[in-house]
Amino acid sequence: MVSERAKPSGPKFRRRSEARPDEVLDAALELFVEKGFAATRVEDIATRAGVSKGTVYLYFPSKEAVLEGLVRRGVLPVANSVIEQFAKVSGDPRLILAGAIRMLGNRLSDPMIGAIPKVVLREVVSFPQLAEMYRREVLDRTIPVLVSLIERGIAEGYMRPVDPELTVRSIVGPLVIHVVLAQVFGIVPKGGMEIEALIDNHLSVLFGGLSAPGAPDIG
Amino acid sequence: MVSERAKPSGPKFRRRSEARPDEVLDAALELFVEKGFAATRVEDIATRAGVSKGTVYLYFPSKEAVLEGLVRRGVLPVANSVIEQFAKVSGDPRLILAGAIRMLGNRLSDPMIGAIPKVVLREVVSFPQLAEMYRREVLDRTIPVLVSLIERGIAEGYMRPVDPELTVRSIVGPLVIHVVLAQVFGIVPKGGMEIEALIDNHLSVLFGGLSAPGAPDIG
DNA sequence: CATTAATAACTGACCAGCCAGTTATTTACA
DNA sequence: TGTAAATAACTGGCTGGTCAGTTATTAATG
């Protein structure tokens, strides 16, 4: 409030057409996470971004377009770096997998990044275009890479002959549910919510299995 | 349309105060799944339930109360039967776990049941009371049972000494993500989306691990 | 005909998107 | 360089439509 005095008789606004879209997206992300898309008014976004409502419409044709821009900006870099990790074509695929899982886990647990899938998940039903975009830009690009990594792992004798496509779900599911439990329901393991511990345990179960060495086979 | 002729000069409505709440909930569930809570109008619910909007308000004090009633009615029975499964206190815990996972997977893949967690997940942010209820009635009751089953498995030498709380995420995560991928993004494995195959593969990875017997240890 | 389930018309709040007008910044020219 | 005209950025109030919730009235049922 008083800190505004930095510019006592300063101008009422600044012209910053370069920075505006990002400022709007930053504000929108915060609000969508706090209250959801439907409950967020365009005017709220504008206020938090330090502009007026009209300005939002200078840069985005609609409220939905703000959401779309948000997803595009926030999620593509992550998908790209995950793909880059997976793309390593030599070495034990399990190590590549482990590295990529660690990376993905760390990204997801960053609230500003992990928030985006959460928002997508919520709005997808009333905004099918968003689902399609997310699928096309993220899922359809990452899942196949992951599948072929598993296929190579099996072919080269590093992994048991599992179904690669279904195993993808065993790999990413635990990460996602961990974030959901923590961020949505406030359910945090006793040891704290450092994602590192979760990832370590997950990798241990994933590669080593849950059964004890001496225990009888089940099946 | 024409089939309405079954009651040609019948009464304009029936008085059925017993059946009305369930009829309203059925209609609401369908619509919430189709379009989400925010985009569903109370009048839509009423129309699909075959009553007028006012009637909805005879049985539910608000739109949110409809959602809450829906969750309460749909999800408690599932939680209870899962808990019942887990409660078996003797025998190989891995078999009990496997049985409960199969049961949960089947329930989740029933659209009318699996839809509810999906709706909860979407509305939780703008409706914290719902999150709290779901947490209290479902998660806080099921997760501890699962944790203690794993603890017993470890204590009795059936399972490796993993972190039980974190391992819960490795157990349910894949099921949830499978349903989300299928229902939200339309991503279905080539082999079809029969949940049985997913569960078989998941159990195999979960208990046996992903590493091939001959492969070098990673760690 | 008394009771109450159910209807249908109504109200008031809310908000996305629009746009007429205002202000900051740049450009043209002296 | 100083200044006025031109332009681009921004504001904020308005409007039309939507919809949750209310209420006056009607109709079914015992």
What's the CATH code of the domain at B170?
A: 1.10.357.10
- Kindly state the tokens that stand for A205: 């179960």
B163 contact A CB<8A: yes
Instruction: Answer yes or no: are the C-beta atoms of A28 and A66 closer than 8 Å.
Output: yes
Q: Is B8 part of a structural domain of the chain?
A: no
Q: Which residues of A touch B165 (CB under 8 A)?
A: 189-191
Instruction: Answer yes or no: are the C-beta atoms of A149 and A163 closer than 8 Å.
Output: no
Percent of chain B with pLDDT over 90: 49
Q: How far apart are CA B16 and CA B19, in angstroms?
A: 6
User: Which of residues B115 and A53 earns the better pLDDT score?
Assistant: A53
- State whether A207 and B207 contact (CB < 8 Å): no
Q: Is A213 part of a structural domain of the chain?
A: no
> Is the C-beta atom of B88 closer than 7 angstroms to strand D?
no
User: Which of residues B58 and A12 earns the better pLDDT score?
Assistant: B58
B75 with B34, same domain: the answer is: no
A46 with A136, same domain: the answer is: no
CA distance A162 to chain B (A): 7
Q: Compute the average pLDDT of residues A106-122.
A: 82
Q: How far is the CA of A150 from the C1' of C12 (A)?
A: 60
Q: How far apart are CA B69 and CA B83, in angstroms?
A: 21
A32 with A68, same domain: the answer is: no
CATH number at residue B32: 1.10.10.60
> Is the C-beta atom of B35 closer than 7 angstroms to strand D?
no
- State whether B126 and A39 contact (CB < 8 Å): yes
Q: Compute the average pLDDT of residues A94-104.
A: 92
Decide: residue B90, CB within 10 A, 0-12 exposed, 13-18 middle, 19+ buried: exposed
A200 with A144, same domain: the answer is: yes
- Kindly state the tokens that stand for A120: 């997508």
Instruction: Provide the 10 A C-beta neighbour count for residue B113.
Output: 16
Q: Mark which residues 72-91 of A lie under 8 Å from B by CB.
A: none
A49 with A130, same domain: the answer is: no
- Kindly state the tokens that stand for B86: 């887990």
Q: Which residues of A touch B216 (CB under 8 A)?
A: 92
Taking all residues of chain A, what is their mean pLDDT, rounded to a whole number?
Answer: 86
Residue A91 zone, left/alpha/beta (φ > 0; ψ -120 to 50; rest): left
| pLDDT over 50 at A39, yes or no | yes
Angle between helices A42-49 and A63-86 (to 10 degrees): 70
Q: Compute the average pLDDT of residues B179-197.
A: 85
Q: How far apart are CA B101 and CA A200, in angstroms?
A: 23
Which nucleotide in the DNA or RNA is closest to residue A52, CA to C1'?
A: D11
B108 with B155, same domain: the answer is: yes
Read off the pLDDT of residues B140-173 as tens digits, 9 standing for 90 and up: 999 999 999 999 999 999 999 999 999 999 999 9
> Is the C-beta atom of A14 closer than 7 angstroms to strand C?
yes
Question: A109-113, B7-11, B47-51, B90-94 — which is least confidently predicted?
Answer: B7-11
Q: What is the pLDDT at residue A8? A: 41
Q: What is the pLDDT at residue A1? A: 36
Instruction: Answer yes or no: are the C-beta atoms of A58 and A41 closer than 8 Å.
Output: no
- Hits for CB < 7 Å against strand C across A residues 172-201: none
End-to-end CA distance of chain A: 67
- State whether B172 and A167 contact (CB < 8 Å): no
SS (H, E, C) chain B: CHHHHHCCCCCCCCCCCCCHHHHHHHHHHHHHHHHCCCCCCHHHHHHHHCCCHHHHHHHCCCHHHHHHHHHHHHHHHHHHHHHHHHCCCCCCHHHHHHHHHHHHHHHHHCHHHHHHHHHHHHHCCCCHHHHHHHHHHHHHHHHHHHHHHHHHHHHCCCECCCCHHHHHHHHHHHHHHHHHHHHHHCCCCCCCCCHHHHHHHHHHHHHHCCECCCCCCCC
Q: Is A50 part of a structural domain of the chain?
A: yes
B79 with B152, same domain: the answer is: yes
Confidence of residue B107 (pLDDT cuts 50, 70, 90): confident
Number of domains in chain A: 2
B93 with B176, same domain: the answer is: yes
Instruction: Answer yes or no: are the C-beta atoms of A109 and A179 closer than 8 Å.
Output: yes
Q: Is A200 part of a structural domain of the chain?
A: yes
B35 with B126, same domain: the answer is: no
3-state class of A18 per DSSP?
coil
User: Which of residues B110 and B219 earns the better pLDDT score?
Assistant: B110
Confidence of residue A36 (pLDDT cuts 50, 70, 90): confident
Q: Is B103 part of a structural domain of the chain?
A: yes
A68 with A166, same domain: the answer is: yes
Range of the domain at A55: 17-60
Question: A55-64, A93-102, A107-116 — which is least confidently predicted?
Answer: A107-116
Percent of chain B with pLDDT over 70: 95
Q: Compute the average pLDDT of residues B24-52.
A: 93
Q: What is the pLDDT at residue A166? A: 96
A84 with A169, same domain: the answer is: yes
Confidence of residue A107 (pLDDT cuts 50, 70, 90): confident
Instruction: Return the amino acid letter for B189.
Output: P
- State whether B174 and A170 contact (CB < 8 Å): yes
Read off the pLDDT of residues A156-209 as tens digits, 9 standing for 90 and up: 999 999 999 999 999 999 999 998 888 888 899 987 768 999 999 999 999 998
B21 with B97, same domain: the answer is: no
Question: A9-13, A14-18, B182-186 — which is least confidently predicted?
Answer: A9-13
Q: Is B192 part of a structural domain of the chain?
A: yes
B51 contact A CB<8A: no
